[in-house]
Structure 1
């Protein structure tokens, strides 16, 4: 089994299934396909049905799309309990994951994942206020129900889906409640996340489209080092 991923520093969708595979101790290999540089789009189109990452390769199966990959892993390895065991909790976890997959557009566009960076004060709060309120409401309710430290007590697929959002909150020093801050700390304390983070910090590549200083026009494209 192999997972094709993008740059660890930036690729939110790659991080999610990687965390599931690593945390639940599923044997796999990975291959990094850069999201910048010469002919990177052509390379992705050659390797991925969608021209995007991640892609899971398992025998003859070539499977794109994070949610589909996670569901496939849950079906392949039912004993791992990648989703909560209780049917109601599992439904809530899937609903939260679907909302993450389709929602929070302001946070996505205004605060891209950048694990190497620290950009306190660079995101206008009024631009992300609606999304931050929903994050507090949704995750706060789930954490209150479960008692933490993760959304359903133990780490599950829903937490993998929200891990990149946790990094955005920290990178841009966005306001959050104590409950949400404790959740961010739990994500960062996860050994699988720490492993991903350590490799991300070593990466030398810059993706201008995910750098806030480029997005906001403070720095010209191609000048970051």
Structure 2
């Protein structure tokens, strides 16, 4: 089984199924496909049916798209409880994951994932305030219901879906409650996340489209070291 992923420092959608595979100890290998550089779009188009990452390859089966990959893994390994075992919890977890998949556009647009960076104060809180309110509401309800440290007690696919959002809160030092901060800490403390983070911190590549200083016009594209 192989997972095709983008640059670890930036690729939110790649991080999600990678965490599921690593945390639940499902054997796999990964391959990084660049999200910048010469002919990177053409290379992606050759390897991915959607021209995007991630893509899971299992024998002759090629599965693109994060949630589809996670559902495939859950079907393949029901004993792993990738989704919560309780039916009601499972429904809530899938609802939360779907909301993350389709929503939180403010945070995704104005606070791109950048694991190597520390950009306190560079995101206008007013542009992401609605999303921060919803994050507090959703995480607060689920953590209160489960008792934490993850949304449904133990780590599940729902936490994998929200892991990139958690990194955004830390990278840009966005104002959140103690409850949300504790959840971010739980994500960062997860051994699987630490494995990904270590690899991301050693990547040399820069993707200008995901660098806040380039997005906001502080520096010109192609000038970041």
TM-score strictly above 0.5: yes
Query: Using the alignment, how far apart are the partners of 1:134 and 1:182 within structure 2?
Result: 17
Map residues 122-141 of structure 1 onto 2, 5 A cutoff. 122-141=122-141
- 1-structure distance, mates of 2:160, 2:218: 32
Structure 1 runs not aligned, ≥5 long: none
| Match runs of 1:205-220 below 5 Å | 205-220=205-220
What residue is the counterpart of 1:6 in the other structure? 6
Aligned residue number for residue 27 of structure 1: 27
- Give, in whole Å, the separation in 2 of the partners of 1:146 and 1:178: 17
Cα offset, 1:125, TM superposition? 0.5
Q: Distance in 1 between matches of 2:140 and 2:209?
A: 31
Please report how far the alpha carbon of residue 199 of structure 1 lies from its aligned counterpart in structure 2 after TM superposition: 0.3
How do 1:84-103 residues align onto structure 2 when only pairs under 5 Å count? 84-103=84-103
Structure 2 residue aligned with 1:63 = 63
Q: CA deviation at 1:187?
A: 0.2
Residue 163 of structure 1 is matched in structure 2 by 163
Tell me the CA shift for residue 150 of structure 1.
0.1
Structure 1 length-normalised TM: 1.00
The equivalent residue for 1:150 is 150
Q: Distance in 2 between matches of 1:219 and 1:99?
A: 34
Query: 1:79 & 1:130 partners in 2: Cα distance?
Result: 38
How many Å apart are 1:218 and its aligned residue?
0.5
- Give the match for residue 121 of structure 1: 121
Partner of 2:182: 182
Rounded Cα–Cα distance in structure 2 between residues aligned with 1:132 and 1:123: 12
Q: Secondary structure at the match of 2:109?
A: helix
Deviations 1:13-51 (A, max 9, x none): 000000000000000010000101111000000000000
Q: How many residues align?
A: 225
Q: Provide the TM-score with structure 2 as the length reference.
A: 1.00
Between the aligned partners of 1:140 and 1:50, the Cα distance in structure 2 is: 35
Please give the alpha-carbon distance, in whole angstroms, between the structure 1 residues aligned to 2:33 and 2:80.
28
SS of 1:144's equivalent in the other structure is helix
> What is residue 107 of structure 2 aligned with on the other side?
107
